[in-house]
Amino acid sequence: MIEWLSHDFFWYAFSGALMVAILASVLGCFVVWQGMSYFGTALAHTALLGVALGFFFGINTKLAVALTALAMGLLLTWLRSIASLREQLHNDVLLGFLAHIAMALGIVVLVGIDDVRIDIFSYLFGDVLTINQEDLLFLGATSVIGVTIIALVWRPLLMMIVDEELASIEGVNTTAIRLVFILLLAWVVALAMQVVGVLLVASFLIIPAASARRLSNTPLQMVLFSVALAIIAVFIGVLSSFNWNIPAGPMIVMAMAAEFIVIWLLPKR
């Protein structure tokens, strides 16, 4: 049953998923604190367009996806700043339709490039088996960089989350901090696509954080619990995926969901 434990591709898949899940579960706490879960989803929905543009311009797929997601993040932030739009449309309307426009455009462009045969399914739901040694090094390095950046902007980022205007009055460059955060979010979308796929990226961000909330009294505790729960979910998800030959991304998400249910069913402390 466990002969695949001796295969390299299992360990690449497992470690790759782990790296992505760690970075996503850290960032996810900030997403949850800011009520930005649909913002994350909207960024993820641009990933197919990113893949298409990557092929079209012949650049690295991850880079293209990250840039497209970043462009979406900046577009949404800019649209939020337009007073007349803000006054007449709730944020979720903009997020909702832009996410799907990006998705539709992505599919149209992907299918339109007919000299490339692309397995759309693997982009939609991820494929951990495609993770090779080079990918793994890259995932590891960028996850470490991502977590380090979060640690560096920890205090100003939290101040901004508590009250943006107050933070800005007290000298936090909220524009720069927000930009850094959107950049990281776009980056995590690009990384997570290979593991969990476009449609499920947001669950990597939100579910571990949402579970961790129940267990935490401080922001740091919540981040640590979130990471721990993500690691456990990757463990269960990847093992069961190899065991039953089911895609790993959805299995990890199921494991995260199970954690959420168990934690919120725990008796009140």
Partner 1 sequence: MSNSILAELTNVSVTLDGRELLHDINFQLESKEIVSLIGPNGAGKTTLLRVLLGRQAINSGKVSLRKGLRVGYMPQKLKLNASLPVTTKGFLKLSAKVSDKDILQALSWVEAEHLIDRQMPKLSGGEMQKVLLARCMLRKPELLVLDEPAQGVDLTGQEELYQEISAIRDRTGCGVLMVSHDLHLVMSSTDKVICLNRHICCTGKPESVQAHKEYQNLFGDSAEAFAIYTHHHDHEHDACGEVIDHD
Residues that bind partner 1 (CB under 8 A): 32-35, 155, 158-159, 161-163, 165-166, 168-170, 210, 213, 216-219, 221-222
Q: How far is the CB of 228 from partner 1 (least distance, A)?
A: 15
Closest CB to partner 1 among residues 28, 146: 28
Cα–Cα distances (Å) from 63 to 40, 81, 151, 162, 191, in that order, read 17, 27, 23, 32, 9
- CB closer to partner 1, 24 vs 222: 222
Nearer to partner 1, 117 or 268 (CB): 268
- Number of Cβ within a 10 Å radius of residue 221: 13
Of the two residues 62 and 213, which places its CB atom closer to partner 1 in the complex? 213
DSSP H or E segment with residue 218: none
State the Cα–Cα distance between residues 132 and 186, nearest whole angstrom: 22
Between 120 and 158, CB nearer to partner 1: 158
In angstroms, give the least distance from the CB of 88 to partner 1: 16
How near is the Cβ of 225 to partner 1 at its closest, in Å? 10
Alpha-carbon distance values, 208 to 88, 99, 101, 211 (Å): 34, 23, 28, 5
| DSSP state at residue 35 | T
Q: How far is the CB of 38 from partner 1 (least distance, A)?
A: 14
Residue 229 CB, shortest distance to partner 1, in Å, is 15
Which residue, 140 or 219, has its beta carbon nearer to partner 1? 219
CB atoms < 10 A from the CB of 165, how many? 9
Residue 46 Cβ vs partner 1, minimum distance, rounded to whole Å: 25
- Cβ-in-10-Å burial (0-12, 13-18, 19+) of 78 comes to exposed
Query: What are the backbone dihedrals phi and psi of residue 268, each rounded to the nearest 5 degrees, phi first?
Result: -60, 135
Distance separating alpha carbons of residues 230 and 115, to the nearest angstrom: 39
Helix (H, G, I), strand (E, B) or coil at 113: coil
